Amino acid sequence: MADMTVIDSDYDFGPLHAAMQRYVDLELMPGISSAVLKGRDLIDLHCVGWADREDKTPLDVDNIYRVFSNTKLVTSCAALLLHEEGCFQLDDPIDSYLPQLANRQVLRPDATDPEDTEPAAGPITIRHLMTHTSGLSYGLLDPDSLIFKLYTENKVTNPAAPLSQMVEALASLPLSYHPGTSWEYSVATDVMARLVEVITDENFGDFLKARIFEPLGMVDTDFHVPSGKSDRLVTYYAGADLMEPMLSGLSRSNDMPGFPIQSGGGGLFSTLPDMVALVRGLIQGDGMLLRPESMALITTNQLPEGRNIQFAGLGELPGKGHGLASAVSMAPLPHEAPGVVGEFWWGGIAGTQWWVSPNNNLAAVVMTQRQRAFSHPFAAELKKLTYDAVIT
């Protein structure tokens, strides 16, 4: 298990803790846990609120969360471990390993018919998958789009389906754009998880356990919650209004996105200590999970010139690119501290998130469980207060 001993420091995290409590008191978040690291040292650890509001079960450090897209970091690390061993090259066509994805068709601009396509200008490469520039989509965030309809009808993210079946479902579907020319959040990381299975001839979950979880001491991270740990799983909540995130009110929710059972893009359960262990493994020091060359690929923007990451409903995020595992910050947004430049980061749709700032030798993990909390204002405020406490 990760060392969660907090070292003595002179940093004042009072404003951060007060903000966390305010979000709970206003019924905007059920509970929040956070950990802040300077280098690999834990300099702050704080929990407020409830694991279950109705039962009045206080949130604790070892509660288990649905981390959703934080899973992508684990999957990317798994792929990079294989890349370090020479199992593939980043610019290999994916159809060399998954022939179902050869000879792609691409929807023409403004297409309203799934047959309104043209041949892809080139193959999907592994680098495209790792940077979400493959032309694949999610069928998750833009319900008015043709691609959403196609992914839904073909059950691409069927929660009962294995990764192999997901790839088969993608085989007949067009791409949203020509590989390598744009950016769209997608099932690409799930395709990478299947790539790991094909290369290693192992079950994806078994590979993660042997190569990442056990070496890092991540004792509570898995694609399911064993019955003996189910009492530690936090309750999932919805806000009062999806379109008004600062409107008070929370309700228990079973409306959670569906993913393949061992989804490399969003299927894991984990805890604050386990996520701290994972983040520590990416910070300079003894026992790093990946080689420096891999870390350089994670922390360097890989997107085409002039492209930024963008989400349906949120628009483009200027100054935010993507490396081989997560977003990277080349410039701060108006509400961000200047110190975010050089940071790599990501989060899950229910609000679990992590970020690492090599330039400031600073990192943090934040855990909560509210529907669509990934883009909730709480995340930006807590990050800024963390920077304010440490960077003077």
- Would you state the pLDDT for residue 368? 98
* Structural domains in the chain, sorted by start: 14-67+203-256+271-289+347-390 (3.40.710.10), 77-200 (3.40.710.10)
Quick check: 390 and 362 in contact, CB under 8 A? yes
**Three-class SS of residue 176?**
coil
Whole-angstrom distance, CA of residue 27 vs CA of residue 127: 41
Question: pTM for the whole thing?
Answer: 0.97
Which residue has 């749709």 as its token pair? 349
- Would you state the pLDDT for residue 315? 85
Quick check: 153 and 187 in contact, CB under 8 A? no
5 by Cβ neighbours in 10 Å (0-12 / 13-18 / 19+) ranks as: exposed
Across-strand partners of 271?
64
Quick check: 285 and 39 in contact, CB under 8 A? yes
- Would you state the pLDDT for residue 84? 98
DSSP assignment of 96-118 equals: GT-GGG-S-EEEPTT--STT-EE
- Would you state the pLDDT for residue 318? 96
Which residue has 């593939």 as its token pair? 88
Q: Which residues of 286-296 are buried (b: 16+ CB within 10 A; e: fewer)?
A: eeebbeeebbe
Whole-angstrom distance, CA of residue 150 vs CA of residue 106: 13
Whole-angstrom distance, CA of residue 99 vs CA of residue 308: 30
For residue 182, the Cα-to-chain-centroid distance in whole angstroms is 19
Per-residue pLDDT of the chain (392 residues; tens, 9 = 90+): 789 999 999 999 999 999 999 999 999 999 999 999 999 999 999 999 999 999 999 999 999 999 999 999 999 999 999 999 999 999 999 999 999 999 999 999 999 999 999 999 999 999 999 999 999 999 877 888 999 999 999 999 998 899 999 999 999 999 999 999 999 999 999 999 999 999 999 999 999 999 999 999 999 999 999 999 999 999 999 999 988 999 999 999 976 666 788 999 999 999 999 999 999 999 999 989 999 999 999 999 999 989 999 987 778 999 999 999 999 999 999 989 889 999 999 999 999 999 999 999 999 999 999 999 998 999 999 999 999 999 96
Whole-angstrom distance, CA of residue 185 vs CA of residue 310: 8
- Would you state the pLDDT for residue 140? 77
From residue 49, alpha-carbon distances to 27, 44, 275 in Å are 10, 17, 20
Where does residue 387 fall: left (phi above 0), alpha (psi -120 to 50 degrees), or beta otherwise?
A: alpha
